[in-house]
Chains A and B, each alone.
Chain A
Amino acid sequence: MDKSELVISDLRAGYGSLDILNGIDLDVGKGEFVALMGPNGAGKSTLLKTLFGQTTIKSGSILWQGGNIAGLHPREILSRGVSYVPQGRCNFPLMTVDENLQVAAFTIADDKVLSDRDYVYELFPALQARRSTLAGNMSGGEQQLLEMAMAVLQRPKILLVDEPSVGLSPTAIGVVFEELQRIHANGHTILLVEQNTKKAMAVASRAIILRLGKVIWDGAPADITHDELGELFLTGRMAKEDASMP
């Protein structure tokens, strides 16, 4: 793991006057696969949105590759190599898969698009066969793959993925997670928000647990059991910590 590419310090942010993140401190190294987990309302999705410039930041800084990106416009953040796959459907339903990929690649130089599309089709073989299908006519799983492919085509240095398993069948979830691992193996840093903790822990190299807008646990997935995870979600503390407390 290289030194930290993304350094978040004392980040407070939310929507209008409503604060969701209450002082987040977090470092992410190059090439890491980080799973962000936590109960509902912990601020996982808000953290991703904040990194992509879609919320109101009250204080704190987001250093990305040495520059502060806090409060920048999403287009500026995108051009610095941060791509975002939001929760729910985010494609252009009346365009074909190929056209969706073209539109997603508008941020990169036009002549590069063709070769880059081939790269993405290699990475997502399931989409190759569907390239002339309208995005809106595909299954939820295929649309999720398309949205990840659109983000990968932007050649990001870090990929922010929000709940890719929502509304998908177990088979489709399996394919989506396989794809995430493949993207990671190709050298992309991934920050994944996921409710399906078992799946997330299985693929990630690091797990971060948020609760009430703060980081309450940070470590390797192997260092925490599922029961402990549940306890952290519910109480914000672990039983063995209580036992060791005086």
Chain B
Amino acid sequence: MLNLLGEQLLNGIVTGSVYAIVAVGMTMTFGVLRVINFAHGEYFMVGTFASWFVIEKFDLGYPQSVVFAVALTALLAIVVGYFLMRKMVGAPFENGVLATLGVSLILQNLAVALFGGSYKFFNGGYIEPVELFGYGLAQQRILIVIVCVLVFIGLDLMVTYSRMGKSMRAVSQNIECCEIVGIDVQSVVLWTFVIGASLAGLSGVLTAPVNVSVYGGMGELITFKTLPIIIMGGLGNVRGTLIAAMILGIAESFVAGFIGLQFRDSVGFVTLILMLMWRPHGLFSLQSRF
């Protein structure tokens, strides 16, 4: 029993790390733009597809495919960000919902049109098990947790000390005032979105060796897992997102292990409802935003 408990906890931390890397991009985009990006999971899908494609067609190694996947996702995000996301500054809330849902449909169907609707097998990554605290764990899962820790340390440093990070905080705290001090809000929105989408792509390609299946609709589920996380974490809050993602990852893992796998995907929204009954403003309110 104790053995199973530890194993589920480790699994939960790995799942939480995946969610955290995806969700942080969505929460940062919300922070500067006040738009829920319903297409966020699609960048996770694009990253996975890009990596799968170059491994299958060009026989590239997994590390090279990661670089390619993140670069391609970033490029796509620059295009979408330039022509769409930055134009959402000051637009009514529903514009953001419709536009990002539209992007989501386009990207999903583009993947199906280009590569077919069937499930693909992802053949890459480091799936050899290693022993950790007495549990067997695939190397890839350890890699995911390490990357998650590095991403969050990097983001924290960026948001606290860099010019870009300070501009992001400025836009999220008082967008009207940014014009007065000369911050280019559209440019901040564009680059925040590109960082966020690239992280989603990175998360996708990191998870692919563990999930092994690649398909056009895979991003949708990720978007809907991300939503409760960013709400629990306090919209726009980077550190809160990490903790909320871990809570959800571990809760899912325990439900899957002890109650039943079929209930796993409902955990996010059930946890969200319970948490909102207890703390309507999210687990972490304004004080530690960004």
Contacts and interface: CB of A to CB of B under 8 A. Distances in A.
Interface of A: 52, 54, 74-75, 78-79, 84-86, 90-95, 99, 102-104, 106-107, 110, 150-151, 154
Nearest to A95: B169
A94 B182 contact: no
B166 interface: yes
Interface of B: 163, 166-167, 169-170, 173-174, 176-177, 179-184, 286-287, 289-290
A102 to B, nearest CB: 6
A148 B30 CA distance: 30
Given A92-B174, A93-B174, A95-B173, A86 B180 contact: yes
Given A90-B180, A94-B286, 14 more contacts: A52-B180, A74-B180, A75-B184, A86-B180, A92-B169, A92-B177, A93-B173, A94-B287, A94-B290, A95-B170, A102-B166, A103-B183, A150-B181, A151-B180
A205 B174 CA distance: 34
A106 B286 contact: no
B179 A74 contact: yes
Q: SS class of chain B's interface: helix, strand, loop or mixed? A: helix
Q: What are the 3 tightest A-B residue pairs by CB atom distance, in nearest-first order?
A: A107-B182, A90-B177, A92-B173
A163 to B, nearest CB: 15
A189 B287 CA distance: 38
Contacts of B167: 103, 106
Contacts of A154: 181-182
A103 B166 contact: yes
Given A102-B166, A103-B166, A106-B167, A91 B179 contact: no
11 contacts: A84-B180, A90-B176, A90-B180, A92-B170, A92-B177, A94-B173, A95-B170, A104-B181, A107-B181, A151-B180, A154-B181
B166 A95 contact: yes
Nearest to B171: A92
Given A99-B166, A102-B166, A106-B163, A90 B182 contact: no
Contacts of B181: 78, 103-104, 106-107, 150, 154
A108 to B, nearest CB: 9
